[in-house]
Amino acid sequence: MAPSTTLLRLAARRAASPAFAALRAAPSAHASAQPRRAFHSGSSSENRLKLDEVDEQNAAEHDTLHENKEYLQHEKNLRPIWTALRGRALLNEPTLNKGAGFTMEERETFGLLGLLPHEVHSLEQQCKRAYSQLQERPSSIAKYTFLSSLRDQNIVLFYGVCLRHLNELLPIIYTPTVGEAIQKYSTIWRRPDGLFLSYDHRHRMREMMFQAKRPKDVDLIVVTDSEGILGIGDQGVGGILISMGKSNIYTLGGGIDPSRILPVVLDVGTDNSALLNDPLYLGLRRKRLRGEKYDEFVDAFCDLVREEYPQAMLHFEDFGVHNGGRLLQKFRPKQSCFNDDMQGTAAVVLSALVSAVKVTKSELKDQRIIVYGFGTAGLGIADGIRNALMIEAGLSSEEVRKLFYCIDRQGLLTTEHADVLRPGQEHFIRDKEEVAAWQRDGEKGISLLEVVKQAKPTILIGCSTMSGAFNEEVVKEMAKHVDRPIIFPLSNPTKLAEADPADINEWTNGKALMATGSPFPPVKNPHNGKLHKIAMSNNALVYPGFGLGVITARASQLTDKMITAGVAALAKLAPALEDPDESLLPGLHDLRHISVKVAVAVANAAREEGVSGIERDDPFTEEEIRNAQWDPVYRPLELADV
């Protein structure tokens, strides 16, 4: 809609203001040599993040993010947003509401005088107040509900608080607290967010999607059917919170505009009897849909996404073990889609492996790899390594197969298990004749310890959720045959990890290179007394960059080469490459910088492969992608005529 004549004059007056003029006189983001950016809140210089106002706990992390303690402004954040909303309607719109942050000019223009206290507060002041209120909440779930309410009221303030305290609040807004919130969803529910596609309303799916978002304005869709939520299984309609949690990380890490992300739950019923018997349960009260009808429902959804949002990336989250990989392979050739449980986990683990192999001064193609626990995550990790070896090292499928020893419930998987293998597992099995002489443990088959003794692995990856599986005997046996064993006990949560890194460190005399799926404290190197930081294989390190890269390039697919390029970009940021006592992966506090690096690699790989929707001869740049990110700052508002 056209802006009013009065407000055009106001806009011109604002453009002539000293703050606006000063910004225009400053070097553009493209001209600046500074590689990293932070965020300011509109035209007020007092609203910039200041390092001396950051709490002591996070000060060192902000030093890393912003080397000179300077925060450069972006002209994009001074572009006004036009809206016809006024008064309470404006205050009730979370994407536009600034609360006490509305300027006096905006209060006059939008009819807010009397609806707000007198003082105008900066975003920094508001973040401090909100964080103080958060600290008064007595439990993680209480903090989660507070932050959810904050998001419902003021999007910029929610992300501003979270970004300032990222390491502290990630466990609140995502795992593990979101798992608790999902289990209590029907009890703590206050206000709907996202899109609920119920099987009973399947014939109105297109209409429901258009009501949730206007056509052509969605960059990313995060969808779950809630069957395999965070290790707690089938959670019915409560799975919408996992889609929302992932969406939050895409915005915090990748800078993807939250108003252009659509969280979705496919409500196909639930086999969780506790939910079906709960009188407060909000979802479709029936047994979970399966078979042909399930496939028809999911097909209709994916087809609709492809038709109406052809440039949007489709993120599959926490689908069941029998559906996740199958659906990914089905739709991957047709549209840009991604399964975080398989591809995201594989990518971040592969990045840590690449870093570890560089520390040992060897190559990935020369390793012997045990994957213990060969479900969705284990298979996804093996697939990621396999793709990288075939793309980067030029190995054949058969050559890759010979590097792997994969252990599941049946013990070491061999050709004798062909009848019970899930799709994709066949690429990693050993020939039964090759291991005929190996000892067997009755019905359990060939054990982990026996495989370690016989195969002499250099890499041991755990995805089994079997606490203590990597015991002293197993680890010491592995350390006999390799100078720097690479051991990744990845199972979540902490209590289910295959081993404690402190024990692995002791059993290997400080020689093991480790990564975990949950946070663990540093361990002491017995040789020099230095603390060795344990890498946490958090998918958030990689998937926001994948999404940002796909969206920037308008890629029609997320190919293996694009993923491998992103993995390589992440691996280059490993602190262990400079100091072997440091982590094999960068820290989450630097997430926006990491995501830009990953996104550049992904977008340029898309361009090289011919799947980018943008025709150009020159490569995508970091500054270009950084300038495309959404920042949690207050942009100026202008009134539009209706």
- Look at the chain and report how many structural domains it folds into: 3
| pLDDT for 215 | 66
* Mean pLDDT across the chain: 88
pLDDT tens for 577-632 read: 999 889 999 988 889 999 999 999 999 999 999 999 999 999 999 999 988 899 99
Asked if pLDDT for residue 420 goes beyond 60, the answer is: yes
| pLDDT for 291 | 96
Residues 379 and 310 in one domain: no
DSSP string, 393-457: S---HHHHHTTEEEEETTEE-BGGGGGGPPTTGGGGPBPTTTTTTS---GGG-S-HHHHHHHH--
Helix (H, G, I), strand (E, B) or coil at 611: coil
Task: Report d(CA 164, CA 218) in Å as an integer.
Answer: 27
Residues 28 and 124 in one domain: yes
Percent of the chain residues topping a pLDDT of 70:
88
492 is in an annotated binding site: yes
Token pair 């088959």 in the structure block, residue: 445
Residues 189 and 290 in one domain: yes
341 is in an annotated binding site: yes
pLDDT tens for 537-584 read: 999 999 999 999 999 999 999 999 999 999 999 999 999 999 988 999
| pLDDT for 231 | 73
Residues 325 and 356 in one domain: no
| pLDDT for 540 | 93
Residues 377 and 331 in one domain: no
136 is in an annotated binding site: no
| pLDDT for 43 | 32
Distances (CA, A) of 46 to 20, 41, 50, 201, 572: 14, 9, 9, 50, 36
Rounded (5°) CA angle 494-235-544: 60
505 is in an annotated binding site: no
Q: Strands, E, within 427-534: which ranges?
A: 459-462, 486-489, 513-516, 523-524, 531-532
Total length of the chain = 642
pLDDT average, residue stretch 439-444: 86
pLDDT average, residue stretch 4-12: 41
Residues 160 and 93 in one domain: yes
Residues 285 and 145 in one domain: no
CATH of the domain at 440: 3.40.50.720
Please report which confidence band the pLDDT of residue 1 belongs to, taking 50, 70 and 90 as the band edges. very low
pLDDT tens for 227-254 read: 999 778 999 999 999 999 999 999 999 9
Asked if pLDDT for residue 482 goes beyond 90, the answer is: yes
Asked if pLDDT for residue 355 goes beyond 60, the answer is: yes
H or E stretch at 222: strand 220-224
Residues 182 and 162 in one domain: no
pLDDT average, residue stretch 161-181: 92
Burial class of 322 by CB neighbour count within 10 A (0 to 12, 13 to 18, 19+): middle
DSSP string, 13-78: HHHTSHHHHHHHHSPPTTT----------TT-GGGS--GGGS-HHHHHHHHHHSTTS-----GGGG
| pLDDT for 73 | 59
Does residue 81 fall inside a structural domain?
Answer: yes
pTM of the model: 0.86
Contacts of 100 (CB under 8 A, 6+ apart): 116, 117, 119, 120, 121, 125, 126
Please report which confidence band the pLDDT of residue 6 belongs to, taking 50, 70 and 90 as the band edges. very low
Asked if pLDDT for residue 173 goes beyond 80, the answer is: yes
pLDDT average, residue stretch 629-636: 94
Sign of the Cα pseudo-torsion (277, 278, 279, 282, in order): negative
> Would you name the residues annotated as active-site residues?
174, 246
Residues 376 and 454 in one domain: yes
Question: What Rg value do the Cα atoms of the chain yield, rounded?
Answer: 26
Backbone angles phi, psi at 313, to 5 degrees: -85, 135
Domain boundary among 314, 335, 356: 335
CATH of the domain at 21: 1.20.1370.30
Residues 360 and 487 in one domain: yes
- Could you check whether the bond before residue 310 is cis, i.e. omega within 30 degrees of 0? no
pLDDT average, residue stretch 353-362: 95
Does residue 115 fall inside a structural domain?
Answer: yes
| pLDDT for 216 | 67
Task: Find, among 307, 227, 309, the residue nearest to 262 by Cα.
Answer: 309
Range of the domain at 466: 343-537
**Angular region, 231: left φ>0, alpha ψ -120 to 50, beta rest:** left
Q: Which two tokens stand for residue 116?
A: 């707000």
Task: Find, among 312, 295, 377, the residue nearest to 340 by Cα.
Answer: 377
Q: HSE on the CB side for 610, CA within 13 Å?
A: 0
Please report which confidence band the pLDDT of residue 28 belongs to, taking 50, 70 and 90 as the band edges. very low
Does residue 603 fall inside a structural domain?
Answer: no
Q: Identify the bridge partners of residue 262 per DSSP, sorted by sequence position.
A: 221
Domain boundary among 294, 318, 335: 335
Asked if pLDDT for residue 36 goes beyond 90, the answer is: no
Domain boundary among 304, 335, 366: 335
Task: Report d(CA 215, CA 419) in Å as an integer.
Answer: 46
Sheet containing 513-516: which strands, arranged edge to edge?
A: 411-412, 404-408, 369-372, 459-462, 486-489, 513-516, 535-536
Task: Report d(CA 482, CA 504) in Å as an integer.
Answer: 14
| pLDDT for 24 | 35
Please report which confidence band the pLDDT of residue 7 belongs to, taking 50, 70 and 90 as the band edges. very low
Does residue 453 fall inside a structural domain?
Answer: yes
Q: Identify the bridge partners of residue 616 per DSSP, sorted by sequence position.
A: none
Q: Which two tokens stand for residue 26?
A: 């400053």
Does residue 546 fall inside a structural domain?
Answer: no
Residues 161 and 240 in one domain: no
Task: Report d(CA 401, CA 395) in Å as an integer.
Answer: 10
Does residue 594 fall inside a structural domain?
Answer: no
Q: Which residues of 401-434 are buried (b: 16+ CB within 10 A; e: fewer)?
A: bebbbbbbebbbbbebbeeebeebbebbbbeeee
pLDDT average, residue stretch 412-434: 92
Q: Which two tokens stand for residue 420?
A: 């019970």
Does residue 554 fall inside a structural domain?
Answer: no
CATH of the domain at 310: 3.40.50.10380
Strands 523-524 and 531-532, sheet pairing: antiparallel
Q: Long-range contacts for 398-402 (Cβ within 8 Å, ≥24 apart)? A: 400/427, 401/427, 401/428, 401/429
Asked if pLDDT for residue 457 goes beyond 90, the answer is: yes
Residues 200 and 254 in one domain: yes
Q: Identify the bridge partners of residue 223 per DSSP, sorted by sequence position.
A: 264, 316
Task: Report d(CA 562, CA 167) in Å as an integer.
Answer: 28
Does residue 553 fall inside a structural domain?
Answer: no
Chain centroid to CA 598: how far?
A: 12
pLDDT tens for 39-89 read: 233 333 333 233 333 333 344 444 333 432 333 457 888 899 999 999 999
pLDDT average, residue stretch 326-348: 94
pLDDT tens for 491-505 read: 987 889 999 999 999
